[in-house]
Chain A
Amino acid sequence: MPAVQETVDQVKAIDVDQYKYGFSTDIEMELAPKGLSEDIVRYISARKNEPAWMLEWRLDAYRRWLTMREPDWARVDYPQIDFQDMYYYAAPKSNPAPNSLDEIDPAILETYKKLGIPLREQEILAGIAPEKRIAVDAVFDSVSVVTTFKEELRKSGVIFCSISEALHEHPELVKQYIGSVVPTTDNFYATLNAAVFSDGSFVYIPPGVRCPMELSTYFRINEQKTGQFERTLIIADKGSYVSYLEGCTAPMRDENQLHAAVVELVALDDAEIKYSTVQNWYPGDSEGKGGIYNFVTKRGDCRGARSKISWTQVETGSAITWKYPSCILRGDESQGEFYSIAVSNGAQQVDSGTKMIHLGKNTRSRIISKGISAGRSQNTYRGLVSAHRRATNAKNFTNCDSLLIGDKCGAHTVPYIESKTASAVFEHEATTSKVSEDQMFYCMQRGLTQEEAIALIVNGFVKDVLQQLPMEFMVEAQKLIAISLEGSVG
């Protein structure tokens, strides 16, 4: 039907403009000299007033990085990145380490207001019931500008602050855990991150504490020609629980910007960490110009017995996504979960998935991954499930489905399933399909428009994943999916 194609083209044209977080904030920034060298690593460390051991740690990583090669196994294609042609540190000049909201540049506050991120505690208190409060760590380019509800969290023993602050306030905790899940030698981008990471969030939940509110970090890239390298470290001590949300956006620019983050989660005995991401970095325009390169290493270590880590992600942004949130199921009876929806449109390239590494006895994992490709995008699920010899009775269930909209895109599935123990039970299933004509007919016969029908079917398709998202994010995620798929009738 030619009319449909017209609609597709029209809506696609709008689609690019629909990136509503594409504005930039014009404020004076302090930038490190351009490029990367030992001096830059020292500069970043000095700016943050870090202890000597931290600088050594960074320098070790940097020297290691110099010997490493950029990985090329992912199904993504991009021009060579010039690591000397970007800034590794960018902080608002006015007051890079404000003590209260009043000291923050109003332009930044305005930015977060526009993004819909509540930073003023009293505003939040006024509007929403207490149990729905969310503590936010707001990271603006290279620095954390504010962390809300810190005091209240401290009352229950929860430490929630920027990682720079944690280095001063709780160096023993940072020293004990940083790099223990993602070592500095892990991979090209994780090693780069270890050398130049500038900020990020730090969370420690003491034994037996159920974190009284949702924690969240909002990442914003603003400055041109900068890379964002944040590092998040979450430690859930014995018997504790925390739910953590992460959101990200960036302005629309013609250039590609690098985001190479590292997230480390540690769950001790009986602890549970729920980590949710709504990734909405600028995806580039319809021709594939601009957009964020999202090369992220996320890994959780179920170190204690009966611990549990669950990753939920909704991926709609970024020009290129390269990330595999993983669980190391070390503790006996520990559990790992991965729920993902990756929607790609335009010229986006997604190579994402998870790793479930079963080391302990009676460990369980579950992977639900839904990939939706439209436009000229390529969407790859790449995942590993492995059971070590002593991981007796390990169980995994994997379900990865792909949906293609249009005939210019691609959906790929590359699972690795490695079992070294007979008692492990691994089940994997994957399907690829088109939005069913029968279902479309059924919906449209009942008066839904084609667009509505598609939205309904796609929402049904991704329901398994959305159910895992915290309430606030679920609504947001559903909206995101609607945006990305509008007009994508094939």
Chain B
Amino acid sequence: MNAVTPIRTPAEQALIGAFGALRDAGPAAAALESLRVDGFARFEATGLPHRRVEAWKYTDLRTMMREAKPLAGAPDASALLAAKVAVGRLPRVGGSRIVLIDGHHAPDLADGGPLPEGVSVSGLAEALVRRPELQALLAGQPATRENTAFALNNAFLTDGLLIEIAPGTAVSHALDLVFLTSDGAAKLTNARVVVIVGAGATAGLVETHLGPAGTDYQKNVVVQAIIRDGARLEHGRRQLEGSEALHLSTLEAEIGAEAHFDTLTLTSGAAVARNQLFVRFSGENARATLRGVSLLKGRQHADTTLVMDHAVPNCESRETFKHVLDGEAHGVFQGKIIVQPIAQKTDGRMMSQTIMLAEGPAMDNKPELEIFADDVACAHGCTCGELDEDLMFYLKARGIPSQEAEALLVEAFAREAIEDFGDEGLGEAVEELRAALLASVTDWMLART
């Protein structure tokens, strides 16, 4: 068969052009050059994924990303000022706030006092010069490396943030990490944050993503977390992007022995969102809890795709994802638990549940198990349906208006994924976050009509 010359979509052409321009502009961070070249080569080989690519079957990025916006530069003074106002309006969750505007760290917008002891924040490019061993980490795990969104993030990697928690540190307040897209013409933001939680340390991190409503900006964010032996990381995410936004997010986590990783994502923003999680156990007796709640209405499309890799024995993972769909929204859940041949005594349980509030939405579920070890307990479940009529009747019979009754039931539905999130050690901050997330579920329900 002759070699096929791919036909490039305008978005692909723009991305290829943007990469060329980036290279011509000189090495913004020479240390990142090889990662960029590798990421770009991967993207160039495959192009934007489409529905015939199994991992993107339900999110045809080639169709959904018709054009690529120009790459966002560092924000100017006026953008910073506007951002300060926008970020100021956002209630703080947890302790110190770290702000990224259009993917660029804005130290002036930091808030909530100095960083707690044992926590350090530095520029990624600069850190890489000092510590070349970070290169391998940035290149991603094998499964992540294959991913186009991740490859694109690497292709445009000029800098990022490195957050480190020193071994043995117990950080009492979660870090509040804000990713803001500034007003003005729609742009493509490329952001990267690496979090390293030292051995035995405990930390919390809450990401909030937001941007202007009515602008079709694009964001491709990658967060890589290394949770060393005996450490714990509580990771929350609020995706509150503007209504027209395209949001691609990749969370990669590597969990050491006896470590614990807990993540919860609330998705209610963006026109098109893809939330990817690649989580791998690298030490025994570790635990991971992955959860998500997606509230979608109108013509929103949100995809959660996760790969939970049990690469070592004796680990436990729990995946709980809830979708509430209204209007003509489209929800996607693709989860895969891999149990490698040596990963005996694995315990994995995955659950995806959906409630549809209208006749128009669609939900696609693909909960996969890939098992190569025999002494394991793995299960997945999946349900999809409307609100229980009997429960609605019960509530209405007690004088609760229909809209409130629905909100109550949906809150109860979402609560299952939210309520045991977080660790006692992080105290009030996580409790506040839980309360805030539950409140946002109720608000979303009540604002629906």
Contact = CB atoms under 8 A, between A and B. Distances in A.
Interface in A398-414: 402, 404-414
A410 B364 contact: no
B380 A413 contact: yes
Nearest to A416: B366
Contacts of A429: 379-382
B369 A432 contact: yes
A404 B346 CA distance: 14
A20 interface: no
A407 B344 contact: yes
Contacts of A423: 359, 385-386
Interface in B345-383: 354, 356-359, 361-383
A17 interface: no
Contacts of B112: none
Contact of A433 (B356, B359, B377, B386): B377
B381 A422 contact: no
A357 B380 CA distance: 21
A406 B372 CA distance: 10
Nearest to B380: A430
Contacts of B384: 417, 419, 424-426
A284 B344 CA distance: 29
Contact of A430 (B54, B362, B369): B369
Contacts of A434: 374-376
A289 B405 CA distance: 63
Contacts of A407: 341, 344, 372-375
B374 A417 contact: no
Interface residues on A, range: 35 or more
Contacts, number: 116
Contacts of B363: 417-419
A424 B385 contact: yes
B379 to A, nearest CB: 4
A422 B358 CA distance: 6
Contacts of B369: 402, 411-413, 430, 432
Contact of A412 (B358, B361, B365, B368): B368
Contact of A428 (B344, B356, B359, B382): B382
A410 B341 CA distance: 8
A57 B385 CA distance: 43
A420 interface: yes
A389 B360 CA distance: 8
Contacts of A431: 377-379
Contacts of B377: 431-433
B374 A406 contact: yes
Contacts of A73: 54
Given A73-B54, A410-B372, A432-B371, A416 B382 contact: no
A24 B417 CA distance: 60
A404 B371 contact: yes
Contacts of A411: 369, 371
B366 A422 contact: no
Nearest to B387: A422
A96 interface: no
Interface in B365-423: 365-386
A427 interface: yes
B323 to A, nearest CB: 11
A490 interface: yes
Contacts of A405: 374
Contact of B368 (A414, A425, A427): A414
A310 B382 CA distance: 23
Interface of B: 54, 341, 344, 354, 356-359, 361-386
12 contacts: A404-B371, A404-B376, A406-B374, A407-B344, A410-B371, A417-B384, A419-B362, A425-B383, A428-B367, A428-B382, A432-B378, A433-B376
Given A422-B356, A432-B371, A434-B376, 11 more contacts: A404-B376, A407-B373, A410-B370, A411-B371, A412-B371, A419-B384, A425-B383, A426-B382, A428-B380, A430-B380, A430-B381
Kindly list the 9 A-B residue pairs having the minimum CB-CB distance in the complex, ordered from nearest.
A422-B356, A404-B374, A417-B365, A428-B382, A413-B369, A425-B385, A426-B384, A431-B379, A432-B378
